[in-house]
Amino acid sequence: MIVCFILIILAGRAGFSLWQTHEQHVGYFNVSSNSYGVAIYQETRRASVQFANTHAFTIHNNEITLFPRSNTPILLTYNRDDIVIDDYSTLYTEPTQEQLTVLTQTLHTPLVKAPSSPRTIALTHARVYIVNPAIPGVLEVKIPDGLQAHINRNEKQITFNAPHSLTITVYDTLPL
């Protein structure tokens, strides 16, 4: 009889496994770990921004801090349609004219297009914003002091030259 009860207890393990894979929510976004690192995404992982080579994250209010695996810099992969802007209103991607008009109206400031070649260029300012036009919300990536970051527009990636923690701030609208 006791064996029966133990079997039943084991059958209830589903609850524990769900606790372990519990998603965390920041603003419009969800955050969870996967085998590649950490993903920040919305419902059913649509428009997921992937931070590879991260092994852990912490959340404080609307800030997510990502920690790299030892000796491997974090690699950020965004989506094909994402719009990438820095805090000096430089636009690194190619949104549609209509999207550009709405963005300019929202920001009350014109956006300056970065040259389209070379396809990999250095990000010289302190902050980069990622907007997926199909979902609400904005991700702000703070480039750590002393670190060099490059955007590869063919691969849709932002790379860093050294392993360092990254702070991602989640906003409802562009804070420019």
Nearer to another protein among residue 59 and residue 114 (C-beta): 59
CB of 147 to another protein, least distance (A): 29
Torsion of CA 51, 65, 26, 30, to 10 degrees: 30
Closer Cβ to another protein, 34 or 106, answer by number: 106
As a whole number of angstroms, the distance between CA 27 and CA 19 comes to 21
Binding site residues, another protein, CB under 8 A? 1-2, 4-5, 7-9, 11-16, 18-19, 22-23, 25-28, 30, 43-44, 83, 96, 98-99, 101-103, 105-106, 131-137, 172-173
Q: Could you tell me the smallest distance in angstroms from the CB atom of residue 43 to another protein?
A: 6
Query: CA angle 87-90-95, nearest 5°?
Result: 115
Min separation Cβ 31 and another protein, Å: 11
- Closest of 77, 73, 71 to residue 48, by C-alpha: 77
Question: Beta 90-91 vs 112-113: how paired, if at all?
Answer: parallel
The smaller minimum CB distance to another protein, of residues 68 and 137, is found at 137
Residue type, 143: I
Q: Which is nearer to another protein, 23 or 145 (CB)?
A: 23
